[in-house]
């Protein structure tokens, strides 16, 4: 572990900031083991479901609902919703654009830190986590496992992934939209799905009538799952310094171009970047997906903690306004 001691995902502040928090799972799950999350089916659990008439010889008298029995003068039992274990999957974008960074850390460092944080926040007894990794134009799948050793193994594997240089064999294959569609197709069981990316595939002209390529897959993913989108940003993707003539390279294609960063060019760049970020926010909002932004020039651990606290408040509000099951 000593060789990873300076990596964001192994930052001791991570556990200190998040140990009292949890990422609330408000969607019901499908599973076979007993855990701490609400399932779709009836069975052993702690959440009450509908009351029904008692069947002698079939029902457990310990499930007798005495209030309904007293009102109807007929014996009634109340079924329980089974508690299930959570299966979470994270799509980590490790394409060439994620190797960029001009602050204290690169975007891929934040992606790895977000992967660690999400699994720490959701991990309970029996819960499993897996990953899909978009790297060098290919989708690599990590099977769902549980436990601290499995998490450390996953983080080490992602951290050791070589940089995806532009124009190398394999680049130009699968895109972010392909990876999201693959995740929705492969993982049909209800659970938590997390997408970590810079979403630079989003065109500036993306609208509700002409959505971004990844929106269709994300909508499909959100139909059955609780989904979280983590957008990773570097400040130089939003604004450029006044440094005159520079040579710029597109990390995805390898194309280079000399650009004179005068005031007019910088202004157009800022406007284009703002338009793209607005399109990303609007696309995620149309998909009904919570949106967390992590920046390489900010304390991402505190940003993550603030987001989780707000999500907990949202979960409490949803629970408070959910109609109670009639007795």
Domain containing residue 135: CATH number:
3.40.50.410
Q: What is the pLDDT at residue 312?
A: 75
Structural tokens at position 306: 């603030």
Q: What is the pLDDT at residue 61?
A: 80
What's the distance, CA 70 to chain centroid? Answer: 47
The reply to whether 141 and 225 lie within a common domain is yes
Structural tokens at position 147: 């436990």
The reply to whether 243 and 278 lie within a common domain is yes
Is 237:275 a contact under the CB 8 Å cutoff?
A: no
In sequence order, the β-bridge partners of residue 131 are 90, 142
Each residue's pLDDT expressed in tens, for the chain with a length of 327 residues: 333 444 445 555 555 555 555 555 444 434 433 344 444 343 444 444 567 888 887 777 887 888 888 988 988 887 654 445 678 899 999 998 999 888 888 999 999 999 988 888 877 666 888 999 999 889 999 998 888 888 888 888 888 888 866 545 444 589 999 999 999 998 887 888 999 999 999 999 999 999 999 999 999 999 988 899 999 999 999 998 888 888 888 777 778 888 888 899 999 999 999 999 999 999 999 999 999 999 999 988 888 888 888 877 776 666 565 554 443
- Is residue 20 in a domain? yes
The reply to whether 152 and 80 lie within a common domain is no
Q: What is the pLDDT at residue 272?
A: 95
- Is residue 321 in a domain? no
Q: What is the pLDDT at residue 1?
A: 36
The reply to whether 191 and 231 lie within a common domain is yes
- Is residue 182 in a domain? yes
The reply to whether 171 and 53 lie within a common domain is no
The reply to whether 295 and 147 lie within a common domain is yes
- Is residue 70 in a domain? yes
Domain carrying residue 64: 37-84
State how far the Cα of 28 lies from the Cα of 47, in Å rounded to an integer. 12
- Is residue 123 in a domain? yes
Q: What is the pLDDT at residue 5?
A: 41
Global model pTM greater than 0.95:
no
The reply to whether 66 and 212 lie within a common domain is no
Q: What is the pLDDT at residue 306?
A: 86
DSSP string, 75-100: -EEEEEEEEE--EEEEEEE-SGGGG-
- Is residue 327 in a domain? no
Last residue of a domain, one of 65, 84, 103: 84
The reply to whether 192 and 90 lie within a common domain is yes
Total domain count, the chain: 2
Q: Is 244 helix (H, G, I), strand (E, B) or coil?
A: strand
The reply to whether 59 and 206 lie within a common domain is no
Question: Which H or E run contains 142?
Answer: strand 138-145
Structural tokens at position 152: 């450390």
- Is residue 12 in a domain? yes
The reply to whether 77 and 140 lie within a common domain is no
Pairing outcome for strands 291-295 and 226-233: parallel
State how far the Cα of 131 lies from the Cα of 134, in Å rounded to an integer. 10
- Is residue 324 in a domain? no
Q: What is the pLDDT at residue 321?
A: 56
The reply to whether 302 and 199 lie within a common domain is yes
State how far the Cα of 129 lies from the Cα of 140, in Å rounded to an integer. 15
CA distances (Å), 212 to each of 24, 176, 206, 217, 276, in order? 28, 11, 5, 10, 10
The reply to whether 140 and 274 lie within a common domain is yes
Beta strands across the sheet bearing 192-197: 138-145, 128-135, 87-93, 192-197, 226-233, 291-295
């Amino acid at each position: 572990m000593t060789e990873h001691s300076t990596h964001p995902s192994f930052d001791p502040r991570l556990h200190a900031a998040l140990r009292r928090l949890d990422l609330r799972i408000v969607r019901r799950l499908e599973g076979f083991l007993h855990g701490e999350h609400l399932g779709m089916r009836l069975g052993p659990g702690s959440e009450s479901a509908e009351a029904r008439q008692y069947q002698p010889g079939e029902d457990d008298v310990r499930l007798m609902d005495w209030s309904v029995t007293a009102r109807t003068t007929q014996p009634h039992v109340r079924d329980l919703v089974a508690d299930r274990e959570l299966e979470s999957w994270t799509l980590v974008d490790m394409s060439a654009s994620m190797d960029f960074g001009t602050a204290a850390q690169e975007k891929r460092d934040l992606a790895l830190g977000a992967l660690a944080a999400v699994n720490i926040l959701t991990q309970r007894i029996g819960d499993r986590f897996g990953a899909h990794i978009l790297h060098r134009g290919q989708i690599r799948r990590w099977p769902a496992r549980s436990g601290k050793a499995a998490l450390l193994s996953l983080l080490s594997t992602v951290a050791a992934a070589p940089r995806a240089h532009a124009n190398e064999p394999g680049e130009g294959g699968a895109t972010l939209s392909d990876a999201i569609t693959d995740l929705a197709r492969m993982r049909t069981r209800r659970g938590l799905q997390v997408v970590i990316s810079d979403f630079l595939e989003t065109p500036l002209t993306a609208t509700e009538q002409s959505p971004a390529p990844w929106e269709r897959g994300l909508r499909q993913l959100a139909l059955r799952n609780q989904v979280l989108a983590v957008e990773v940003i570097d400040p130089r993707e939003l604004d450029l310094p006044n440094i005159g003539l520079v040579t710029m390279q597109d990390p995805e294609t390898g194309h280079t171009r000399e650009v004179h960063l005068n005031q007019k060019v910088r202004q157009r760049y800022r406007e284009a970047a703002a338009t793209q970020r607005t399109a990303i926010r609007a696309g995620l909002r149309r998909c009904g997906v919570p949106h967390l932004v992590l920046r390489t020039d900010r304390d991402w651990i505190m940003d993550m903690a603030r987001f989780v606290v707000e999500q907990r408040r949202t979960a409490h509000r949803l629970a408070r306004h959910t109609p109670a099951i009639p007795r």
